[in-house]
Structure 1
Amino acid sequence: MKRALTLLLGLLIATTAAAERKQSYGDYDIHYIAFNSGFLQPDVAAAAGLIRSKRMGVVNIAVLKGAEPVDALVSGTVKNLLGQDQPLSFKRHKEGDATYYLAQFPFDSREVLRFDLNVQPMGGEPVSLTFNQEFFPDE
């Protein structure tokens, strides 16, 4: 089960790099992705402590300095187009040498959500990261 989780999270990071879903700030690269939790296999979701649902999303953050993962403080909110925002509660997840910060959030329908995140790599300056992602309920 751990190998499946490692593979999935590794693929998510690889996908973000291929899609240029990263921001570089000085020596640090912040990789990010948000997706519907229904895409996760049940055993992978359980191992990461995530809830699979048609109307739940996951945001995944990884901070690297060079090729090495870096611990960070991650917080933020997710906001819909009506301006309703919800705080995100990130949990640190360590798998082998990789470190990820995962948060879940609900969404009601097909909608574009705005993520406003604060990431502070240990030993680095705080960084504000904002991105939009469209979500579709898995029906």
Structure 2
Amino acid sequence: MRTLLLLCFVLLTGFAQAEQKQVFGDYEVHYMGLTSSELDAKVARLYDIPRSRNVGFLNIAVLKKGVSDMPVAWDAKIEGEMSNLIGQKSELEFKRIQETSALYFISTFDFYDQNMYRFHIKVTPEGSKRTFDVKFNQKFYRGE
């Protein structure tokens, strides 16, 4: 069942506008935001993710290069906040999800239809003293 989550994220990645990642030396930070109603119901239930037309879902994955031939999932401390265009801020709380060879950090949040949000995520990879700032904007739409 756990591999179902990985499959869900892989399939949803195909819907993304473009690959959403930022590279910081040996680290890649991948991120994806969508309306939580787009998640598979079984996956949402398994990980206690509320499915709603007005709830956003954010997935962060940190990969480290140079450990093996392919980048590997890497643990990290993830903190973040989001704000709307008039500057109202909300803290994001992240839940760590460990699978066999994958590691995700997920957060949910309420949003207003067709509003643009600014995200500021601080990523401190395990074993690193550096914190990386991941910043991006995304518009959210009410789901079906």
Identity %: 38
**Going by fraction, where is helix more abundant, 1 or 2?**
1
TM-superposed deviation, 1:96: 1.4
Letter of the 2:50 counterpart: I
**TM-score, normalisation: structure 1:** 0.91
**CA distance in 1 between partners of 2:13 and 2:75 (Å):** 16
**Residue 114 of structure 1 contacts residue 131 of structure 1 at CA under 8 Å; is this kept in 2?**
yes
Asked if residue 10 in structure 1 is aligned to residue 14 in structure 2, the reply is no
Spell out structure 1 runs of 4+ moving beyond 4 A. Answer: 12-16
**CA distance in 2 between partners of 1:20 and 1:117 (Å):** 17
**CA distance in 2 between partners of 1:89 and 1:131 (Å):** 17
TM-superposed deviation, 1:34: 0.7
Q: How many residues get paired? A: 138
Q: Which runs of 5+ in 2 are unaligned?
A: 66-70
Q: 1:110 to 1:79 in 2, by over 3 A?
A: same
TM-superposed deviation, 1:12: 4.3
Asked if residue 63 in structure 1 is aligned to residue 67 in structure 2, the reply is no
**TM-score, normalisation: structure 2:** 0.88
Give 1:1-139 correspondences, 5 Å limit. Answer: 1-12=1-12, 19-66=18-65, 67-124=71-128, 125-139=130-144
